[in-house]
Amino acid sequence: MAVIRHKSEEVQLLARLMRAEAEEDGNTGMLLVGNVGVNRVKVRCLDFKDINTITRMVFQSPGGFESTQKPYFYQRARDRDVRLAQQVIDGRRLDPGTNSLWFYRPVGTCPAKWFGQANSGRYKAHCFFIPTPADCPEVY
């Protein structure tokens, strides 16, 4: 059962985003990026009050994803990517992405906070960040 409403073309869109942002981190890294995306669609807080579809989440500006500005994002989603995207839409959650609304790839170590948001952990190249429960209770 899906945790967010979606259209079939949006599964493809999320799959392309996950691949473009984290393919080098393997399936788990891609799932974590998917967790962040699904969380952004689910919540109505902070920068994501008006983000209620996968399409709006992927192309949010400002605050969106850098990969959408690069040609690599515009490749067709592979079957593997689509399966992973459907898993996160269906509710598969992994730490440190379970409650995360942000991630980024630092040059060095993950900072304890990023734009005031607490670090929830790192997976390979990416650091993940969570809001406080007071700022965004529905992500918890």
- Is residue 98 in some structural domain? yes
Structural domain span for residue 18: 8-139
Rounded to whole angstroms, the Cα distance separating 122 from 120 reads: 7
The residues, ordered by sequence, that sit 6+ positions from 135 with a Cβ below 8 Å of its Cβ are 45, 46
The number of distinct structural domains making up the chain is 1
- Is residue 61 in some structural domain? yes
Q: What is the DSSP letter of 71?
A: G
Query: pTM score > 0.75 for this model?
Result: yes
- Is residue 50 in some structural domain? yes
- pLDDT category at 64 given cuts 50, 70, 90 is confident
- Is residue 27 in some structural domain? yes
pLDDT 10s digits, 86-100: 999 999 999 999 999
Query: Quick check: 63 pLDDT over 90?
Result: no
Query: Quick check: 62 pLDDT over 90?
Result: no
